[in-house]
Structure 1
Amino acid sequence: MAINGFDYKGFAQNLAQQAFELIPADFNDMQKNYVANTLLNFSTIAGQSLYDEGQFDLDTAIMITQIIAEWSYHKSVDLVRSGIPQQYWDPVMQKIAFTIFEIAKNAFGQNLPQDQILQLIEHHVKKTYLDCVAELKDKNLIDEGLMEQAASQSNIDAMQQQMQQEEQQQQAAAANQGSMPAQGNNIPMPQSRGLAVPPGTDTKILKLATLALLFQKVKQEKVQTILNKFDPNDAQSVIKFMEMPDLGEKVDASVALRCLQEIRTNLPKSRLALSPSKVVAKVQNISQYVQRPHLEQMLKLERPKVKKFVFNALEGEYYEIPPKVANIIATHIEDGV
């Protein structure tokens, strides 16, 4: 049964138009068109599939399409910056889009918490991207240096850093004026769904509203325990947002996703620098729960470099691969234990 009211074609076109304005200014016309068209194609295909299947309601279908659009944007930008020859871009993006679609459908179908879904998708997107890059290297289509350059690309991390800098600048400007931005029930939200946070929007208010959306589905006792750790003014703002019955309509889905990503990025654990010693410790910790023969069986089909990294780490040594790649491998093993 089709999803009533889901104009997936118009939605995908709107996303592509907004994305075009966000594409890095240093990209040439061919590169800009590739990013925009990739987003348009995959979000349209996903939207049509969701529409035809009718498995989800309108809001969930929009959310899944939005997620695919955003990751299509970020990873196509990464591919352009990676230096990988253009003829290999489409196969990589196809694998990434398929991965997102399947993971998202499965996760939303299980009614997992939204933040858990976002983390799960991000993990698999990054793993798929790195696997594709490594596969190109294994086939001698790119060299070691280009593989490492491609693996180091992360447009989404760059955008999050930019958002943090802008927020710090806003706070500094407000402090110089002797006042902080006013908080209230009127949330400055975009009128249509899109990829960008509108210029001048108070990102702190957006984050509080996003948290309120999550808390609306959490038991009141647990919410109060969490809010007790907040600044009293912020806690009061969250409570006011939670009392708004139409909050879900006022908070744009793309903005909520981005706020959740930034909130997670700013957690204390995320601030820790990723170092070889920490990744090695992560692998060694895994060895406490799984015997070496079982680990060898898990890695049976993996590439030689992956095996070498893991077994070197078990001995306390770090095999020289990019820390981000090493951390993805360690996380993948951790998830499989």
Structure 2
Amino acid sequence: MSSSSSPRRALLIGAGIGGLTLAIALARRGVTVEVIDISPSRAVAGWGLSLTGPSLRALDALALADECLAAGYGITAISNCDSNGEVRNVIPLPPLLGPNRPSQIGLSRPALYDILREAALAAGVVIHYDRTIDGLHDNGDTVRATLSDGSEHVADIVVGADGVHSRVRSLLGIPSGARYIGQMVWRALVPRPSWATSLHTFAGTGSNAGLVPIADDRAYVFLTENRADPTPIPENTLADGMRELLAPFSGRVAEVRELITDSAVVVRRPVHVVMIEGPWHRGRTVIIGDAAHAPSPQLVSGAALAIEDGVLLAEELTAAADVEKALSAFTQRRLERCRLVVESSIHIADLGRTGRHAEADAVQQRCHRAMAAPA
């Protein structure tokens, strides 16, 4: 194949949100797509996430937004509260899908993955689990990838959608810049309280908390633990540990705290951020999503950036006659927007640590308005 033609065969590393979105978008444009994922099965942990307006707008371009809306809980505003649950301010979210559809949704992770996976399979995508990439060789026209099971795949383009600790990024020799920002995020599934009809945040002193409805009967509560030791703790202590950290909060948080009793539905993860400023590709291999730009969770926009990446990379690849020019154009198209989200999320985390919650709310609102602009 000539190096100046659009790709016909794509190998994607990572069957997460960004990887599956890209797989769908490419396959629907006639590209043969295979996806490799390191996890041993299609199982996905059961906590929730938020799909902001930009996420939904990008999914709407793939005719998947309404399916996600039906599976989740519609949200139109963020209610920022103090540690007692009293509302300090309400941030209305831009309705990017029009006035009759929610601005944002809370959704269980398994539900979103099922929607994306089924759409990918329906488009002819092949997904392989329990393997990863061990080597890359770019010969100008194609890329030969060696996998951990010893097999080799030849593709016209390889995409690393394999997260903060990306193996593809390492193989390309792109310095990660990934850094731990001193925070651990806890999440737990709980029954949805009747008052939880929007995304709520609760400003504490040592920690900040929040609650996101993800279905009529379910929500997830999150806690950002500041100045935290990232050392793992026994999994059977997670529920007790989260309740202890939530003890300083009263009112609505205290109500929710007592619902956290099962460590099996609690997760605790360190917050790492990434912002790759240079090119995101080498030859015909490119990184997207958290591998290129991982924000902290304060703006609930990591999924939005990954989904947008998938839709827009497919557009660039199938519109351009030269793959490397398409990858360069993709990076330039995404760089400023992704930098805004990553840097704003870190700034909000810093402000929250020092109790400057009103300033953090203002940064949050400005960033959501900026993200409402077309990607």
TM-score (norm 2): 0.21
Q: Name the structure with the higher helix share.
A: 1
More strand by share: 2
TM-score normalised by length of structure 1: 0.23
Instruction: Say which one has the larger Rg.
Output: 1
